């Protein structure tokens, strides 16, 4: 296992103390700003992941979920996802480059952000076209998260696009509740989309953007409804139920073989201020995750990159023995499976993941690079609740 470095403390906590002014970025203190570009020890796997992302960025600034291999050098990378997810693939890549990268990645970040701003719908603020595909709100939420992250890190030019992105997230929220797939909202909610929205809105709030506090109340209402108070499992659309799977995917990736939605629920609780020392749901959730540590076994359906990402956010925040166990399992699962050959060097294969068919190699690589970066520096994620 690689050496962990001391956490620099909550990167964005200081921002939360400032008044929330729409599109007027609150000052970032020197320590927080310095943290952005600080070198990350034990970053070899992270550096290789970032390098793969930079090598596969389109000249126009985006990351294509489907056509990234047009950028390939010798030995073409496989693992195409679906073109409709380009805004989300771009958002995840930008998030990884901002969180784990340094000044060497500034140009790639600037070009990616400019692309997202260029595809933002002028009328609604949606990154991409509203209702262009069934799960367009995933892409919008992740893109908004990436742009809000840029504002939190001092990019005032992204203030307008980030605020409009947040406004559209709020326009898609069901009254008194949360999110699923529709604009205008149709009354359906799910934990998976809602998790990304909470992360985007909290990041926006930490950056000094205007966020309606009622959005967090609605998200937590759904989280509580989906969480079984005996098992402490959080379901996708059913209390205490399992995660979701696309049609035809359950056989290879049984829905019971992941605690992805439990991890999402825990992340939402932490972001909205629940105390892990007091919250029964967080204690119960952490116990569930300890029983379902990252495990790279292609034969039993346990590989789930988004679970490992959310689980890393939640468990690193809570810390203690549970985090040590998760951290060790993550290292074993992920560091030994990062590609080392040819143009794929630094990436992860999407074919082993239940959502890899949609997000492709860009999705896989951005998420696992993010998970490893959080592992190296957990405090970076402690957006104050």
Q: Is 77 in the site for Zn ion (CB under 5 A)?
A: yes
Q: Is 172 in the site for Zn ion (CB under 5 A)?
A: no
| Residue among 362 and 383 whose Cβ is closer to Zn ion | 362
Contacts of 233 (CB under 8 A, 6+ apart): 227, 240, 241, 242, 259, 261, 262, 288
| Residue among 77 and 209 whose Cβ is closer to Zn ion | 77
Residue with tokens 């696992």: 368
Structure tokens at 266: 């825990």
The interface with Zn ion within residues 330-349 (CB under 5 A) comprises 343
Q: Which stretch binds Zn ion (CB under 5 A): 28-36, 69-77, 253-261, 272-280?
A: 69-77
Q: How far is the CB of 234 from Zn ion (least distance, A)?
A: 36
Structure tokens at 203: 């990041």
> Cβ(48)–Cβ(345) under 8 Å?
yes
Q: How far is the CB of 92 from Zn ion (least distance, A)?
A: 17
Distance CA 175, CA 184 (A): 11
Q: Is 199 in the site for Zn ion (CB under 5 A)?
A: no
> Would you put residue 260 in left (φ > 0), alpha (ψ -120 to 50) or beta?
alpha
Q: How far is the CB of 331 from Zn ion (least distance, A)?
A: 25
Q: How far is the CB of 381 from Zn ion (least distance, A)?
A: 29
Q: Which stretch binds Zn ion (CB under 5 A): 73-81, 134-142, 171-179, 325-333?
A: 73-81
Residue with tokens 């590989």: 303
Q: How far is the CB of 115 from Zn ion (least distance, A)?
A: 19
Q: How far is the CB of 188 from Zn ion (least distance, A)?
A: 38
Distance CA 145, CA 281 (A): 25
Classify residue 150 by burial, with Cβ atoms within 10 Å: 0-12, 13-18, 19+.
buried
Determine the size of the site formed for Zn ion (CB under 5 A): 3
Q: Is 38 in the site for Zn ion (CB under 5 A)?
A: no
Site string for Zn ion, 288-327 (x = CB under 5 A): ----------------------------------------
| Residue among 77 and 303 whose Cβ is closer to Zn ion | 77
Q: Which stretch binds Zn ion (CB under 5 A): 68-76, 151-159, 231-239, 332-340?
A: 68-76
Q: Is 72 in the site for Zn ion (CB under 5 A)?
A: yes
Structure tokens at 110: 């600037």
Strands (E), 36-84: none
Q: How far is the CB of 77 from Zn ion (least distance, A)?
A: 3
> Cβ(286)–Cβ(249) under 8 Å?
no
Distance CA 63, CA 291 (A): 35
Establish whether the linkage from the previous residue to 332 is cis, with ω within 30° of 0: no
Q: How far is the CB of 355 from Zn ion (least distance, A)?
A: 20
- In degrees, rounded to 5, the angle at the alpha carbon of residue 267 between the alpha carbons of residues 263 and 270 is 135
**Which residues of the shown chain bind Zn ion in the complex (CB under 5 A)?**
72, 77, 343
């Amino acid at each position: 296992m690689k050496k962990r470095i001391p956490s620099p403390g909550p990167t964005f906590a200081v921002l939360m103390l400032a008044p929330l002014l729409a599109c007027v970025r609150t000052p970032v203190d020197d320590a927080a700003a310095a943290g952005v570009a600080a070198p990350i020890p034990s970053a070899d796997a992270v550096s290789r992941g970032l390098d793969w992302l930079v090598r596969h960025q389109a000249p126009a600034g985006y990351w294509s979920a489907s056509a990234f291999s047009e950028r390939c050098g010798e030995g073409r990378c496989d693992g195409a996802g679906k073109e409709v997810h380009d805004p989300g693939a771009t958002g995840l890549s930008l998030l990884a480059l901002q969180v784990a990268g340094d000044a060497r990645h500034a140009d790639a970040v600037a070009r990616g952000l400019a692309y997202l701003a260029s595809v933002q719908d002028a009328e609604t603020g949606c990154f991409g076209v509203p209702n262009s595909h069934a799960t367009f709100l995933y892409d919008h939420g992740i893109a908004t998260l990436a742009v809000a992250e840029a504002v939190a890190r001092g990019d005032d030019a992204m203030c307008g696009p980030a605020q409009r992105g947040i406004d559209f997230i709020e326009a898609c929220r069901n009254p008194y509740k949360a999110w699923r797939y529709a604009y205008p909202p149709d009354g359906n909610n799910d934990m998976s989309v809602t998790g990304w929205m909470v992360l985007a809105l909290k990041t926006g709030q930490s950056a000094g953007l205007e966020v309606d506090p009622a959005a967090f109340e609605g998200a937590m209402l759904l989280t509580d409804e989906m969480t079984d108070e005996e098992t402490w499992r959080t379901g996708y659309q059913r209390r205490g139920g399992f995660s979701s799977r696309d049609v035809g995917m359950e056989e290879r990736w049984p829905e019971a073989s992941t605690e992805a939605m439990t991890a999402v629920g825990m992340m939402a609780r932490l972001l909205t201020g629940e105390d892990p020392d007091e919250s029964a749901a967080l204690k119960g959730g952490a116990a569930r995750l300890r029983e379902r540590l990252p495990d790279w076994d292609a034969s039993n359906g346990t590989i789930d990159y988004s679970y490992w990402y959310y689980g890393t956010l939640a468990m690193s925040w809570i810390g203690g023995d549970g985090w040590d166990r998760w951290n060790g399992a993550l290292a074993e699962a992920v560091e030994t499976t990062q590609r080392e050959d040819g143009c794929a060097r630094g990436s992860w294969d999407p074919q082993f993941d239940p959502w890899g068919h949609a997000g492709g190699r860009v999705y896989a690589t951005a998420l696992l690079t993010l998970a490893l970066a959080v592992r190296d520096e957990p405090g970076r994620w402690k957006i104050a609740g």
